[in-house]
């Protein structure tokens, strides 16, 4: 698979989002392990997770432990796999999501993630979501401390605005903000400005839920029918076209499609080798 970079570290151009393997509706563990192994077989070397990717109370870090188990049981070399996790969300076990961006919580969360992943330093640690009760610079300041202490290799932020990206760069140091992870898909394009800002600054942009809505692309009247049309022209899935469209937007884009079946991530990974024409890209942009 072609590579892109996060903070100077090379990773496959398509990553894997781990959330569907641990939240509501999650599959049996064996299938999740096979999904992660299939991603590695396909050349995926970036796996995204979070301590809040769990379902029940008392199982914080479920997805982190699952990924650690999958990496440990993989028969091949995993030394080049970069695991990115997040802190700042909490789930009490009733299906709800809450934010806690307090420095005390983020430090505790990072320490717990180190143990869950079984590593001496977290590959990428991301502030999951802004907490309106806590000044943004104070939350990001914990990431700076963790960087300085060597407990994380790279720092990132998620669900961020342009202003918050700039605050994070000031707090961390201009070269130390490795990535921004925002929702971006054919159905959700409001992060286009943040993507462009990251491209200008050379910061990796990680679209989460990149395939949102694309499963309905072939339905009559769908505003995403263009993705189905281009897919048919190339003999590939609309999901591959969607990811290739994102990759074409800027060299900093690294989509992280979620998956809970080996077949899904195997298909998505092939988007790294799909080249769309300028006319097709313009058609998709306008759809």
Secondary structure class of 193 (helix, strand, coil): helix
- Return the H-helix or E-strand segment holding 157: strand 152-158
Distance CA 138, CA 167 (A): 10
Burial grade of 229 (CB within 10 A; 0-12, 13-18, 19 or more):
middle
Beta pairing class for 46-48 and 16-17: parallel
Distance CA 260, CA 207 (A): 18
Distance CA 86, CA 128 (A): 5
- Return the H-helix or E-strand segment holding 280: helix 278-286
Contact in structure between 96 and 55 (CB atoms under 8 Å): no
Q: Is 74 a catalytic residue?
A: no
Per-residue DSSP letter, 81: P
Q: Looking at the DSSP assignment, which residues form a beta bridge with residue 82?
A: 46
Burial grade of 273 (CB within 10 A; 0-12, 13-18, 19 or more):
middle
Q: Which of the following is catalytic: 53, 74, 125, 136?
A: 53
Cα 231–Cα 202–Cα 121 angle in degrees, nearest 5: 100
Active site residues: 53
């Amino acid at each position: 698979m072609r590579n892109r970079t996060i903070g100077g570290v090379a990773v496959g151009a398509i990553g894997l989002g781990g959330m569907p393997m641990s939240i509501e509706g999650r599959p049996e563990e064996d299938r999740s392990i096979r999904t992660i192994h299939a991603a590695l077989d396909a050349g995926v070397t970036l796996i995204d997770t979070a301590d809040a990717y769990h379902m029940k109370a008392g199982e914080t870090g479920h997805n982190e432990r699952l990924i650690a188990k999958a990496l440990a049981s993989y028969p091949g070399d995993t030394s080049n796999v970069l695991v990115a996790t997040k802190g700042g969300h909490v789930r009490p076990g009733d299906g709800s999501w809450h934010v806690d961006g307090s420095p005390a919580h983020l430090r505790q969360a990072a320490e717990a993630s180190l143990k869950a992943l079984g590593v001496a330093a977290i590959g990428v640690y991301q502030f999951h979501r802004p907490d309106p009760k806590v000044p943004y610079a104070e939350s990001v300041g914990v990431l700076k401390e963790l960087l300085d202490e060597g407990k994380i290799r790279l720092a990132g932020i998620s669900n961020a605005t342009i202003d918050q990206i700039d605050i994070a760069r000031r707090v961390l140091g201009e070269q130390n903000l490795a990535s921004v992870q925002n929702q971006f898909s054919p159905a959700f394009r409001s992060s286009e400005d943040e993507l462009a800002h990251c491209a200008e600054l050379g910061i990796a942009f990680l679209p989460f839920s990149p395939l949102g809505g694309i499963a309905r692309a072939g339905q009559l009247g769908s505003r995403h029918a263009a993705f189905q049309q281009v897919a048919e022209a190339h003999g590939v899935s609309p999901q591959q076209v969607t990811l290739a469209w994102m990759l074409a937007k800027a060299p900093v884009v690294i989509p992280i499609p979620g998956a809970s079946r080996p077949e899904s991530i195997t298909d998505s990974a092939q988007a790294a080798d799909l080249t769309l024409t300028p006319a097709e890209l313009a058609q998709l942009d306008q759809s």
